[in-house]
Amino acid sequence: MTSFDFRKSLLLLFGVLFLNSYSQASRELKSTSDAKITESVYFDISIGGKPVGKITIGLFGEVVPKTVENFKALSLGDRGFGFKNSGFHRVIKNFMIQGGDFTRGDGTGGKSIYGRTFADENFQLQHTGPGMLSMANSGKNTNGSQFFITTVATPHLNGKHVVFGKVTEGMEVVRMIESTSTDSSDHPQKAVVINDCGVATSKSSGTSWDRKVYGREM
C-alpha cells in the first residue's frame, strides 16, 4: 500500500467514525414534540396574594423517569415535603421563571426525594421553545428540587440542564409571572406562590385535578 492509499484509508475511517458518532448523537437528542407525556401535574398560582390561574405541566416519564418521579412526588408532597406554598424566586423576562426552593426560598436550597441532589439523568430532550420544564442546577449532577420553565427557546442550555416536561395548559399564567416586576437580583417584588399542586388526571368530562397521597385522594 502506498502512502497515498494509507492516508486515503485513514480519512475514510475517520469519516465513518464521525458519521456514526453524529448518527448516535442525533438519536439521543430526541425531538421534544415526539416525547410522550406520561402524566401531568398542576400548580395553582397566586401573585401578591391574588390567585391568577393554573399551570398544567406534562411530564416525559419514558425519557427521564427518575427526574419525573422526583418532580411528581414533590408536587404531591407525599414524602412530607414539596412545592406547595413555595414560590418562584427568580424571574427573567424573555428567558425563564425559576422555582422549587421550598427550604430557603432564595435559590440556595431545596432537595430531591433521593437526597440533597441527584445526577443528571440524560440530555436527550432540548430547550426548543417557550414552556419547556427543565431542572435548575449549580453544575454537573447537582439536581435537587429547583426547576425552571422557559419563556423562549434556550438552546445554549442543551446538554447542561435536564428537560423533562412542558406546559400544556396555562401558558398565559407563565407569561403573567414572566411580566411581574423584579428587583435587581431578579426576585419578584410581589410573591409568586404555588398555593396548591398535585397530579392532573384527564377524564371524559375534561381535565380534573386531584391531590393524592400514596394513591389516595387527600
Which residues are identified as catalytic?
Answer: 90, 95, 98, 137, 148, 157, 161
Q: CA triplet 52, 54, 57: central angle to 5 degrees? A: 145
What is the spatial distance between Cα 68 and Cα 147, in angstroms, rounded to a whole number?
A: 12
Amino acid at 107: G
Grid coordinates of 114: 433521593
